[in-house]
Amino acid sequence: MAKHVPGKKGPYIMLYALSTCPWCQKTKRLLDEMGIEYYYEDVDLLSGDARRDVMADVERWNPNRSFPTMIVDDSRAIIGFQENELRNLLKV
């Protein structure tokens, strides 16, 4: 079950992250700082079917399976920590 971070409504954001990944931490920090609502999953802390299901979705959007992989409105993926792109996209 993805974790929910409450905040201002904007595009639907699903952030696939790793608890060990500093770029993922920077991405979460930026979203927190902007006060945007989002969902996230630290995939390395999952196991079994939950991990397999999540990785199938990550791979669908990002065949390189790298993190962070952020799915926006279930229609596009932002791969890596892309500060400018995120700030432009999430102007609220």
Partner 1 sequence: MSMPAEVNADEIDQLYIRLKKEAESAGYYLNPDIDFTKMLVKSLITNEGRYGYWACPCRLAEGIKEEDLDIVCPCDYRDADLSRYGTCF
List residues near partner 1 by CB under 8 A: 18-26, 43-47, 51, 55, 64-68, 79-81
Nearer to partner 1, 13 or 43 (CB): 43
In the structure encoding, which two tokens stand for residue 58, read together? 């990550």
DSSP helix/strand/coil, 14: strand
CB of 80 to partner 1, least distance (A): 4
Task: For residue 53, give Cα distances in angstroms to 13, 47, 69, 71, 89.
Answer: 18, 10, 15, 15, 27
DSSP helix/strand/coil, 13: strand
CB of 64 to partner 1, least distance (A): 7
Nearer to partner 1, 5 or 79 (CB): 79
Nearer to partner 1, 30 or 55 (CB): 55
